[in-house]
Chains A and B, each alone.
Chain A
């Protein structure tokens, strides 16, 4: 790759103002580091992964609103956690967490258990209990 071929797609946003260091060959044929502000290829493949995260969040939110699952399911999706990861963060068993994904058992959880989830997901207990009012919530 020549330095002039380093992608500089300014309309791409995933780098959020940062630059990506690329190794490229200058006019003398020497390797140098050139910052790239964006590349459509990366935008597409990163977007694919993020779309999946967003779809999982939207799905969990809809199901939690319907009362099919507890708010914990929504917060898990928002934190990109699956049962295994949340289990290792909380030290609780997958089975126990799965039980808490049901609305009724979740509603009856003691403060102490809620604290563990809240701590693991960088939320307050109050946040953990509720769902966002609107759909355009933050991904993180």
Chain B
């Protein structure tokens, strides 16, 4: 087995994909994978609730990055799901014995190496298994700064967790990686697509409209839900933005890093400018997180705080609308 290079990543899916491609000889940074994968998005859908909390996401649906890389770079993925957990573990052992690191979808709840306070029933966590020592698997979990190990029993449970988005043992790897993909074309296509999705979908809960929609709703949460639940909902939005592994500011910094790299690749200063503007927008998102956490910490009932949060959100929406409108024609 050739050595597997571990790199610390902001997000599990882009980190896993970057690591698997790098192992196959296509070295792209995590922001590049995230950007070409069209990872950035925003949605707030009150009618879809998870544990009673409305769905808020700062990115595209799970696996979007994998699919978009297939489309834009010509990477061909193999994916396996299994009915039987024992069979899935045997298949994993065979991949590893053949020297093939694989991506796995898991539930963080059963991953014993995860910090206890972070172990919730969330089934969408991606990681790389790259080896086995005795009864322990060698895991390159992109969101950890060093490789970790996981006992077979725990990994099996994590791969066969039940509930929403059950992984059903999902195992994936790039079967074919083109030697010289047209990265420039992929980057242009990806930026245009993300810019369009952020600004152009005529639905109130998607893209920049979704940010404004959430701002309007959030202002009314204290009256509608009562102070306790309102704080819980704000708290959950902040968690989606920061805690789940976004590289900071709900992926905005990672996307800015992508735009910066893209600007050099395409020799396009407009992208560098967009990167700077998006960085500043990310700082506003961080301010939203700070204010939101203060509200939770102080158990505040002040409607003025919600107004302030909503104003920051609307500012973020305005800035992103302006940035992505510009990006539609910048590449």
Interface residues of chain A, those whose CB is within 8 Å of chain B, are 1, 13-25, 29-31, 33, 35, 39-42, 44-50, 52, 80-82, 84-85, 88-89, 122, 139-140
Contact = CB atoms under 8 A, between A and B. Distances in A.
B238 A45 contact: yes
Interface of B: 8-10, 30-31, 51, 109-110, 115-121, 143-145, 157, 162-163, 166, 231-232, 235-236, 238-239, 242-243, 245, 247-249, 253-254, 256-257, 260-261, 275-276, 279, 282-283, 286, 289-290, 292-294, 296-297
A124 to B, nearest CB: 14
6 contacts: A16-B118, A18-B144, A21-B247, A45-B239, A49-B120, A85-B163
Contact of A21 (B110, B121, B145): B145
A16 B279 contact: no
A10 to B, nearest CB: 15
A110 B231 CA distance: 44
A1 B282 contact: yes
B145 A1 contact: no
A21 B323 CA distance: 25
- The 6 A-B pairs with the shortest beta carbon distances in the complex, nearest first, are A16-B115, A31-B257, A23-B253, A88-B162, A41-B293, A44-B293
Nearest to B264: A30
Contacts of A122: 110, 157
Contact of B163 (A24, A35, A88): A88
B143 A41 contact: no
B242 A39 contact: yes
A17 B10 CA distance: 17
Contacts of A21: 8-10, 143, 145, 245, 247
A23 B248 contact: yes
A14 B296 CA distance: 17
Main secondary structure on chain B at its contact with chain A? helix
A44 B289 CA distance: 10
A16 B256 CA distance: 29
A89 B297 CA distance: 35
A42 B242 contact: yes
B242 A45 contact: yes
B31 A31 contact: yes
A13 B145 CA distance: 16
Contact of A41 (B121, B242, B282): B242
Contacts of A31: 31, 253, 256-257, 260-261, 275
A17 B257 CA distance: 26
Nearest to B10: A21
B117 A16 contact: yes
B257 A16 contact: no
A16 B116 contact: yes
Contacts of A47: 117
Contacts of B166: 88
A59 B268 CA distance: 59
Contact of A48 (B10, B121, B279, B296): B296
Contacts of B256: 23, 31
A140 B154 CA distance: 13
A29 B119 CA distance: 35
Contacts of B292: 41, 45
A46 B117 contact: yes
A48 B235 CA distance: 7
A91 to B, nearest CB: 9
B245 A20 contact: yes
A33 B10 contact: yes
Given A1-B282, A31-B253, 17 more contacts: A1-B253, A14-B118, A18-B145, A21-B8, A21-B10, A21-B143, A22-B10, A23-B10, A23-B254, A23-B256, A31-B31, A33-B8, A44-B235, A45-B236, A50-B117, A80-B120, A89-B162
Nearest to B289: A41
B296 A44 contact: yes
Contacts of B283: 1
A108 to B, nearest CB: 26
Given A19-B8, A21-B9, A23-B254, A140 B119 contact: yes
